């Protein structure tokens, strides 16, 4: 049964015309629950700024109008993040979404504008087989850094790759390469990569690597190539001798020796250390 509510508004505007508007509510229907008809007005979403939106406890599907986001406009909460409601491909403007194949890899994060974010490379950084059992292959984070004048008598130094956030991996990678130079280690090899004619790849920060883990189930272009039995290096140092890794199976964050290419745990003899490059766009 349809419950039809008619609202009549008498508006005195210039010629004192009468405008009739109707809202149809169909709780048992299979189409629209609410059908609003009007030739003189529209509906609006709750209007708020980014800070006010951030204070909400949203459910998936919640819609608001953000008046100072980039771009300004309506947003919907998809269960994990706010997304601009309109995908635009106009002229030089393209709106991206997580899981999309673009910019040389798989999109793993986009900002509020939908125009900028991060992509993960379509494959791991190539590694050397050191002859481990079961064919395991690994890659080191880098070598230890010492004072040049007294290598044998000093404790290792911090490289200085400390930025943990989104986009910090690029700066971390440059710091590592500038300090450690040319060699077969994760950050340097990431910088040398080129996929689908795109350069600018780098070793992800901890936050960027966790984005791969958090989105692995919807990243269809990535799930076939990520080795989920391996640990992946971030570009973050844990100490003078260790760097931070993430297990892409369960999201475990741990520190391991920078020059190690594998580690042992439990009954499994070798867990290879791997790297997956990202780039910003």
Q: How far apart are CA 69 and CA 84, in angstroms?
A: 9
Residue 177 is predicted with a pLDDT of 94
Do 23 and 53 lie in a common domain? no
Could you read off the pLDDT of 188-218 as tens digits, one per residue? Answer: 999 999 988 899 999 999 999 999 898 887 7
Do 236 and 269 lie in a common domain? yes
The DSSP code for 232 is: E
Do 175 and 263 lie in a common domain? yes
- Cβ-proximal residues to 112 (8 Å cutoff; 6+ apart), any chain: 50, 66, 69, 70, 71, 75, 82, 84
Residue 77 is predicted with a pLDDT of 87
Residue 275 is predicted with a pLDDT of 93
Do 7 and 53 lie in a common domain? no
pLDDT averaged over every residue in the chain: 79
What do you get for the CA distance between the two ends of the chain, in Å? 52
Residue 23 is predicted with a pLDDT of 65
Helix, coil or strand: residue 81:
coil
Say which residue the tokens 């590592």 belong to: 176
Do 147 and 187 lie in a common domain? yes
Residue 1 is predicted with a pLDDT of 45
Q: How far apart are CA 218 and CA 222, in angstroms?
A: 9
Answer yes or no: are the C-beta atoms of 105 and 267 closer than 8 Å. no
Domain of 24, in residue numbers: 3-37
**Among residues 226, 230, 31, 20, which one has the least CA distance to residue 135?**
230
Low-confidence spans in the chain with pLDDT less than 70: 1-24, 27, 29, 31-33, 70-71, 86-92, 128-136, 145-156, 220-225, 227-229, 266-269
- Cβ-proximal residues to 89 (8 Å cutoff; 6+ apart), any chain: 95
Answer yes or no: are the C-beta atoms of 110 and 97 closer than 8 Å. yes
Could you read off the pLDDT of 148-162 as tens digits, one per residue? Answer: 555 555 666 778 878
Residue 9 is encoded by which pair of tokens? 């508004």
Q: How far apart are CA 237 and CA 240, in angstroms?
A: 7
142 occurs within a structural domain: yes
H or E stretch at 169: helix 168-180
Do 7 and 56 lie in a common domain? no
Beta strands in 49-145 (DSSP E): 63-66, 73-77, 82-84, 89-90, 93-94, 101-102, 105-110, 117-120
Domains: count for the chain: 3
115 occurs within a structural domain: no
Do 192 and 79 lie in a common domain? no
């Amino acid at each position: 049964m349809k419950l039809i509510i008619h609202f009549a508004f008498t508006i005195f505007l210039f010629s004192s015309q009468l405008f009739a508007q109707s809202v149809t509510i169909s709780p048992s229907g299979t189409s629209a629950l609410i059908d609003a008809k009007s030739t003189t007005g529209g509906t609006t979403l709750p209007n708020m700024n980014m800070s006010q939106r951030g204070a909400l406890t949203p459910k998936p599907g919640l819609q608001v109008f953000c008046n100072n986001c980039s771009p300004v406009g309506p947003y919907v909460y998809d269960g994990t993040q706010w997304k601009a409601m309109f995908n635009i491909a106009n002229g030089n403007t393209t709106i991206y979404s997580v899981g999309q194949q673009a910019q040389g890899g798989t999109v793993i994060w986009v900002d509020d504008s939908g125009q900028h974010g991060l992509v993960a490379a379509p494959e791991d950084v190539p590694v050397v087989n050191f002859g481990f059992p079961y064919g395991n292959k690994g890659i080191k984070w880098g070598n230890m850094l010492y004072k040049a004048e007294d290598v044998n008598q000093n404790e290792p130094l911090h490289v200085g790759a400390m930025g943990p956030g989104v986009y910090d991996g690029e700066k971390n990678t440059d710091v590592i390469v500038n300090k450690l130079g040319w060699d077969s280690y994760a950050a340097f090899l990431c910088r040398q990569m080129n996929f689908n004619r795109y350069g600018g790849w780098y070793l992800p920060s901890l936050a960027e690597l966790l984005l791969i883990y958090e989105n692995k189930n919807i990243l269809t272009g990535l799930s076939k190539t990520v080795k989920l039995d391996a640990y992946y290096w971030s570009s973050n140092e844990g100490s003078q001798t260790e760097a931070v890794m993430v297990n892409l199976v369960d999201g475990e964050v741990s520190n391991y020796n920078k020059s190690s290419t594998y580690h042992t745990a439990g009954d499994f003899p070798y867990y290879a250390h791997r790297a997956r490059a990202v780039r910003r766009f």
